[in-house]
Chains A and B, each alone.
Chain A
Amino acid sequence: MPGKLKAKIVAGRHLPVMDRASDLTDAFVEVKFGNTTFKTDVYPKSLNPQWNSEWFKFEVDDEDLQDEPLQITVLDHDTYSANDAIGKVYIDIDPLLSSEAATVISGWFPIYDTIHGIRGEINVLVKVDLFNDLNRFRQSSCGVKFFCTTSIPRCYRAVMVHGFVEELVVNEDPEYQWIDRIRTPRASNEARQRLISLMSGELQRKIGLKVLEMGGNAVVGYLQCFDLEGESGLVVRAIGTACTLDKISNTYAPASAINPCNSSPSKDTKDSPQAVPSALGCRSTHSSPVHSASSRLSQGFSVSVPTLLFAGMGSGGSAGKEAGPLKALLRQQTQSALEQREFPFFTLTSFPAGFLLHVGGVVSARSVKLLDRIHNPALGNTRSYKLLDWNSFTADEPETRDAWWEEIRQEIKSHAKALGCHAVVGYSESTSICEEVCILSASGTAAVLSSRFMQDGALDMDHRFEDLAPPGCGFCHIPYDELNMPFPAQLTYCHCCRRFKVPDVLFTTIDLPTEANVTGKGCLIQARLCRTKKKAQGEGNATAISNLLPFLEYELHTQLMNKLKLRSMNALFGLRIQISIGENMLLGLASATGVYLTPLPSPGGIQIAGKTPSDITYEQHISNMQKKINDTIAKNKELYEVNPPELVEEVIGSPIPEPRQRSRLFRSHSESSDEVSELDLSHGKKDAFVLEIDDTDAVEDIHSLLTDAPTPPGFYSCNTEIMPGIYNWTSALQMFTSVRVFRLSNVNLTNQGLNKVFNDLCENLLKSLYFKLRSMVPCCLCHLNFTVAVPEDELIQVAVTAVAMSFDKEQTLENGRQSCDKTLMKAITENEEQLQFPLELTAESSSNPLSSAKGLSEVSGALPSARAPSVDYSSFTDRCSSWIEQLRLKAHTIRRGSIKTMSSLEKASPLPEGRSRSLRSNRSYAGGSVAVVKMTPLSFIPGTKIIKYLGIINMFFIRETTSLREEGGVSGFLHSFIAEVFAMVRAHVAALGGNAVVSYSMKECVFMENPNKNQAQCLINVSGDAVIFVRESELEATPPQPQSASTQTSSSGEGT
């Protein structure tokens, strides 16, 4: 009996009038946890009751504490008839279970009813007393911290990154049970809300157990999703990255202890000159064969068989003669760390310094499945039993689903391997369901990681295999073997270090690394596509969909590539491709943030070629179009400040014997840049991209290229965490959600027409956002994430959640740099670790005889080693001229690099212990009557420091109405529902003592309407991390004080 949950009901306010006669309410409260219920007294005749109840105590297992929410029901007492429910509050007590999170939940919660929405508020106090549990075989995983944030949370340090954790649980959907025919919509909604709350609690607990098993204490990048499969059930699944985190205020053993004997085996991929990297890659597959659920895989889902897929990776030996063995050694080291895992996947999108070595490209896999009801053995009267016990789902259900995901993950893994990468980062999974067809998708970025954070006890020698590439360009270098390229790509030498090869274009799903060398600013790039499909049933439908998928994806990639080139950029970050199925169409939406990576070659323009050059007017048409495109490119260059420094071109003997020309070998990767011959490598001159105008696709492409309206002056947009080129954020912040549903008329639309409609829908939505937020100019819309759905035959739904952040226009980059410089010293002392890495680099490389020589001998152009400028530059005087250029570039790089690091430090750098203690207690943030709670989809708030994570927020709500018109139609209904969801999130955060939600996302917004019946229903699932932040300015001003009660937890409990 390891825990005691205590709850106290204090008061209510703004209650609705329940008794028409007196215009008052006789309210009382039921507090329920598990199967125990307590009641308060009735507080008669008041809309603002003061119950001030005793402490209700629940003695429970911590397993239940994790699974169950505390359920508070407010009712109106009625002497003669049944008591009327006013509404409910579900409180997730998980944050109270971790010693580092919140200690008490106390505050006003909106009382929510699924039919009426928010009906007043209730003030509640909740505490948990946990007893130590020494039972090793326990089922609970109390104390494991969960973060939605997809980077190492700002006040923690990663000791170890253990890797991928996943779990899913399945149940019947109460909405589809027989009993739903006789119960009220309210009862049905509440059953569903409660079930999902239970299931996510259980899921979290199970994942927590896995984390403990791996020896971790936290899950970062926790992503939980629901699949509402309708008749066949309800799946709640989650993935995340298990880590061991250390609170940064702790004194930790410096990771810097270098073992001198370890420093000699130096090289790694970088030193092998030939392993010159390249690579943009997008690999992607569709398991087109329809797998109906009936083909049950025998594999048990929880069996984590360590597959030895990486053993063959010794083939890295082909990379370089001298470096081969070393490289292989390195790989093996890292491999062994990764081998322990079934899937070397990481849901993180940004990484501790030195973790991410190389990026291969996007890997994705999709699979079309048929949801089959037969798989639900629970039929007939067994259902009523199941209804009583939500947890007793049939065992084979999760197995089927798990097997499906397993397949996809294997696929991803093999794609990564083909790209010469042993890991996948920025990994995510999603589904789209329409009737009984379901598309499972997974995508990520193939990458090579340092073993630094991955091996037990590796800390003292972790720098041994540290990749020594200049941080600004290292990740761009190709990880795969250029003689054995996984796809046709055109490689050049890195424009920064000139030693390693880089691809001409790079697509990734991760955030832009803070240290990356970027020229100019970035911008949101979207590819949108809509394809009609014949209505079909069952397997026929699934087959039709899987046949369409490759084309869809191919075209999306082509669009992305075109738009990227139109903006004169060469890399995409945060790429997210969403494919939604409807009865009669498929929607594809790809969003990413385009940037110009300095290490990569400048993209060529877009050339339009006509197939029938006979006609003069036709030629004119083409040349007009060409001119337009060229103008747009020029304009964009100016707009995004893409002015790459001109480099002295060096002739590089490409080691690739024969570039594969025009080979589009791989399904759905759309790089056509391979059309350039070897001689065209010089970046400025090439027009690599040829659009043939006769092709209807090309017409469409051009159309969509030219219809993308530029963002209005003062606005920038991206779908990643940070916008390259903008550093001086102000604290003005506006998170918003916008939803649009578009009804297509009955007219039979062509693909093209449909495309235009969809494109316009997205464009108009963006325009509206810019207009709405015009008062914040200059500002950037960050994390601009679109979700598309086809809720019904002729409806297209687009939902966006993003944050608008103002920045200081006056302060240009230079000024930003100055202000950063001021904080430099402080930043350094505060975060030693950040600097250790570069310092060691120089030390190590100069002592290392292997470091520079070999690269140079191979490459005719003679690239100086990027690593130890002081040594190398002085020794190669004859190459002065090119080096001066290089030095300048280098200096430029370093400056830029430092700016970025610093600006991130400003936001992220940990507090010294004394400081964090000095913070006032949580409660003091409740200035005014309602404390302001900020919300942002980003993992940080500019100008502030997050000093404490209070726990994960994961909430699921259903709202239904039978008086749609009276509530202002569909828009009125959804508007108030979203506002209510925000209000409930804020209330929960405030009750935990927090003042912000970071990494907020709306993962589900399922809207259904039936205007004829005057009805509508909507389901929303949101998540995020509740935090306490303080303004940096306040922080400086606050003198150290004794530690306050609320921030007592300085010891980073392992959670176990």
Chain B
Amino acid sequence: MSVELDVFVGNTTIMDKEVYQLWLNGYTVNDAVKVRIEGGVMEECEASAEVLLSDTMDQFRTFQMCERLLQNPAKLANQLLFQIPPDRQAMLIERYYAFDDAFVREVLGKKLSKGTKKDLDDVSAKTGITLKSCRRQFDNFKRVFKVVEELKGPLVENIKQHFLLPDQLARDYAAIVFFANNRFETGKKKLQYLTFQDFAFCAGQLINYWTVGAVDNMVEDMDVDLDKEFLQDLKDLKILITDKDLLDQHKSLVCVALRGKTKVFNEMEANFKNLSRGLVNIAAKLTNTKDVRDFFIDLVEKFIEPCKSDKWTSTDVNLYLTHYTNSAHILDTFKHQTVWTRYMGVIKSCILRMYHE
């Protein structure tokens, strides 16, 4: 004896946030029921496990039917099948596109290809996130990527408009798209300490200052591709380390400015040339796609690690980078002020964000 068919359809589609989250997390119906029972909803509402099972199945089915629409959120608003109040629609979309930090760290900067998708079971095993949920998150990344890839205009705005996401989430997606497009390496051991939000912040900086869109806002891929001309121009910065006079002059200017203001002055003075070479070399190499990918690892190796081993505080780093940037402007033989500002502005904020004490 069994219930063969069991459906409940409301004129206004009933959706329980808690159950929705369980569905998004990729639970099976039975697991979800267990979680709900543990959550105490039964005592609260005098329900039996049977009732809970029926409700969970029903809602899971509803979500499944909605999933097609959620994948194209603009449709959700003008479809006729489900009558869902606007605030609910926003909630559904936001949660559907939400992702786990642990998951995104695994795929950030990877190509959003079938190959990567195949490896998701490893990701699932590693992060403890269900495979189903991993797939949804991955597919979301890929879907957003595909859509915005071909669009003109600002990346964040495009994502907001096409996927009806709130600002913060749209920015995160912009970062994911940006990373996937440029294939930045984020998975190396040395980068493990960085959170997704660290990278998202850096991506925001890069998008705002280093892409084509920073100059011209009506080009295709404007926010996804780095500004080639700018990267080319970065080569000119090499003079800062190749010209001996310039390097010395730069160093003395920075030292004058910092003397007495930091506890790690000596270490700084001793390391100045190394650090400066590191940063300028990163700039000079960015025309190579390969080196672009290593951008973050380079920042860590060439700058953050040396500073860490000398026990610099964030304040020290901030002070140093400020004066390092500003001093270059005083160098009368240094002609590439604009490029320098554009480069160092981003580098400084990225390093500060990535510098965890």
Contacts and interface: CB of A to CB of B under 8 A. Distances in A.
B77 interface: yes
Given A121-B80, A739-B7, A774-B45, 8 more contacts: A14-B79, A118-B81, A738-B7, A741-B3, A930-B78, A971-B6, A978-B7, A982-B83
A161 B330 CA distance: 99
Interface string B217-231: 000000000000000
B232 interface: no
The range of chain A's interface size is: 35 or more
Contact of B9 (A795, A982, A987): A982
Interface in A66-80: none
Contacts of B5: 739-741, 797, 970-971, 974, 1007
A139 to B, nearest CB: 36
Contacts of B8: 736-738, 768-769, 772
Contacts of A118: 80-81
A929 to B, nearest CB: 4
26 contacts: A108-B80, A110-B80, A734-B10, A736-B8, A736-B11, A738-B7, A739-B7, A742-B1, A743-B2, A743-B3, A743-B4, A767-B47, A768-B54, A770-B45, A771-B45, A771-B52, A772-B14, A774-B45, A929-B77, A930-B79, A970-B4, A971-B61, A972-B64, A975-B62, A979-B81, A986-B80
Interface in B4-34: 4-14
Interface string A761-775: 000100111111110
Nearest to B52: A771
B83 A986 contact: yes
Q: Is the interface of B mostly helix, strand, loop or mixed?
A: mixed
Contacts of B215: none
Contacts of B83: 930, 932-933, 982-983, 986
Contacts of A757: 1
B46 interface: yes
A692 interface: no
Interface residues of B, number: 39
B238 to A, nearest CB: 49
Contacts of B65: 972, 975-976, 979
Nearest to A738: B8
Contacts of B85: 932
Contact of B75 (A14, A735, A769): A14
Contacts of A982: 9, 11, 83
A987 B14 contact: no
A712 interface: yes
Contacts of A771: 45, 47, 51-52, 55
Contacts of A1031: none
B48 interface: yes
B204 to A, nearest CB: 31
A160 B46 CA distance: 50
A933 B179 CA distance: 44
A980 interface: yes
Contacts of B6: 739-741, 971
A13 B79 CA distance: 9
Contacts of A739: 5-7
Interface string B58-90: 100110110000000001011111110110000
A806 to B, nearest CB: 13
Contacts of A932: 83, 85
* Most chain A CB atoms below 10 A, which of B3, B10, B14, B55: B10
A745 interface: yes
A871 interface: no
A312 B85 CA distance: 61
Contacts of A260: none
A62 to B, nearest CB: 31
Given A929-B77, A975-B9, A768 B51 contact: yes
B73 to A, nearest CB: 12
A795 B81 contact: no
B159 interface: no
Nearest to A930: B78
A979 B1 CA distance: 27
Contacts of B52: 771
A983 B77 contact: no
B13 to A, nearest CB: 8
Nearest to B46: A712
A740 B61 contact: no
A884 interface: no
3 tightest A-B contacts by CB?
A741-B5, A929-B78, A735-B11
B50 interface: yes
A736 B1 contact: no
A929 B73 CA distance: 13
A675 to B, nearest CB: 37
* Most chain B CB atoms below 10 A, which of A769, A968, A979, A983: A979
A864 to B, nearest CB: 48
B77 A930 contact: yes
B75 A975 contact: no
A108 B5 CA distance: 31
Nearest to A985: B11
B180 to A, nearest CB: 24
B241 interface: no
